[in-house]
Structure 1
Amino acid sequence: MCGRIFVRPEAKTQNLLHELNLDHFTLPDTPNVAPTEAIPVVHYWEDQLTISPMRWWLVPSWSDGPSTKFAMFNARIETIASSRAYKGPLKYRRGIVPVSGFVEWKREADKKQPYYFEGQNQPLALAAIWETWRDELLSVSILTQPANDNFSRYHNRMPVMLSVDRITQWLDHSISVEEELAAVLGASVELSARAVGTQINNARVKEWV
């Protein structure tokens, strides 16, 4: 899963933009971003790599409009290719979400304890797919996958996290969907984790942990 993200124009994330030749962009300073709020997405638009704010909850192009009836802020890598809502974006509209960190919750005794995760030695680039609805709204889902051995102590699912070389491949739409999914399944980076205060459970609390 991936339920909250934190974005900051810090050195690691700005270096990621430098690697992608996007130095002219500065990321927003947005802590504790929840689904349905706007997050920055790196993607191609008219053959140019750019960054756009998108609604973090994908709105299918054929739908009646934004809704939270179905949980579409995350997309399971195991079923994404067969989903009516996701298979078009997966083929034609892949992107990444550059983040400073994200929060996941672990059940401990009688409560869920939030943990903040960040990359130890590199920025976090979360694989994503995006969609446009009636040329009015851009929206995005973050890919998730089964947790690896290190992450499974916290949760049974984790985001798909890409290194710079895999970012380039993920954004290359000339590569088939089957090749792309096989290449990124299991993709992760070394993470550090620390317990944070439960005030972060409230999405209206916009503060850094």
Structure 2
Amino acid sequence: MCGRYTLLADELEILQEFGIDQPIADYEPSYNIAPGQNVLAIIHDGNQKRAGYLRWGLVPSWANDEKIGYKMINARSETAHEKPSFKPLMARKRCLIVADSFYEWKRDGEEKQPKRIRLGDRGLFAFAGLWDKWEQGDQKLFTCTILTKEANDFMQDIHHRMPIILPKHKEDAWIEAGNQPPEAVHRFLASLKTEDFQAYDVASYVNSAKNNDAGCIAPLA
């Protein structure tokens, strides 16, 4: 799964890395991005790529209650093209969710050791995400979920699931405008190569989403 991550880059670096022309309104780096928070995402509106904020935790357009979002922070890529909540989004509402590392907790007996995980050869990257718009009365929400898959050899030692990180040369294809058959999108995800990871232990300080400073990423001595 993916339940916590970081984005520490400055705005200019993000704009250059993803080829965005317009400034990012209200951009703030974060050491501890958690479900329920607004997260930086990129979509293609049919004319250009746009960066903005979506709330992490998908609320499908048909949902009666927005609280469902807390149960839908992740979507299994193996079945997303078949599930009513995700199938129409696989076809036409795909997004990049911008990050530069993520946290995962490795079980050790009764304890769980948090680890910070980064890509071995690049800083900024994008999770494969899905988004939707929900409206009820005067309330309007734009929300998202992160797609996951079975862990690779490196991650299996930490957790049995991992977020899908798009190879750099596949990012634009993921958010390409226009409808795509969900089955074709499923095959696209299944074909992606996994990049090399690096991981190190961090303190349980990161366990609380209220903590959002350099202490979250400080290596344990």
**Alignment TM-score, normalising by the size of structure 1:** 0.90
C-alpha distance in 1, partners of 2:184/2:46?
Answer: 23
Matching residue of 2:20: 22
CA RMSD of aligned residues (A): 2.1
Partner of 1:126: 127
TM-superposition CA deviations, 1:50-101 (whole Å, max 9, x none): 0111110000101124114762000000110111111111111001111011
Could you say if the C-alpha distance between residues 69 and 41 of structure 1 is closer, same or farther in structure 2, counting changes exceeding 3 Å? closer
CA distance in 2, matches of 1:145, 1:177: 16
State the match for 1:199 in structure 2: 205
Q: Per the alignment, in what secondary structure is the counterpart of residue 153 of structure 2?
A: coil
1:10 CA displacement: 4.6
CA deviations on 1:150-204 (whole Å, 9 max, x unpaired) are 1111100001111121111111245433222222225432211000000111111
Counterpart in the other structure of 1:184: 189
Q: Partners in 2 of 1:49 and 1:60 — Cα distance? A: 23
CA contact (8 A) 2:91 2:181 kept: yes
Assess, with a 3 A threshold, how the Cα gap between structure 1 residues 49 and 128 changes in structure 2: closer, same or farther. same
Aligned to 1:144: 148
Q: Secondary structure at the match of 2:154?
A: coil
1:160 to 153, 160, 164: 164
Aligned residues: 207
Q: Is residue 2:95 matched to residue 1:91? A: no
Q: Distance in 2 between matches of 1:25 and 1:158?
A: 31
- Residue 19 of structure 1 and its aligned partner are, at CA, apart by 4.4
Secondary structure class of the residue paired with 1:88: helix
Partner deviation per Cα, 1:89-118 (whole Å, 9 max, x = no partner): 111100111101110010013200000011
1:120 offset after TM fit, Å?
1.7
Structure 1 residues 148 and 31: alpha-carbon distance in aligned structure 2, compared to 1, 3 A threshold = same
- Once residues 75 and 208 of structure 2 are traced to their aligned partners in structure 1, the CA distance between those partners, rounded to angstroms, is 23
Query: Which residue matches 2:71?
Result: 71
Pick closer, same or farther for the CA change 1:33–1:20 going to 2, 3 Å: closer
For residues 18 and 180 of structure 1, the distance between their equivalents in structure 2, rounded to whole angstroms, comes to 27
Asked if the contact 1:144/1:158 (under 8 Å) is kept, the reply is yes
TM-score by length of 2: 0.85
Structure 2: runs of 5 or more not aligned: none
**Contact (CA 8 Å) 2:125, 2:168: kept in 1 or not?**
no
Q: Percent sequence identity over matched residues?
A: 27
**Letter matched to residue 79 of structure 2:** T
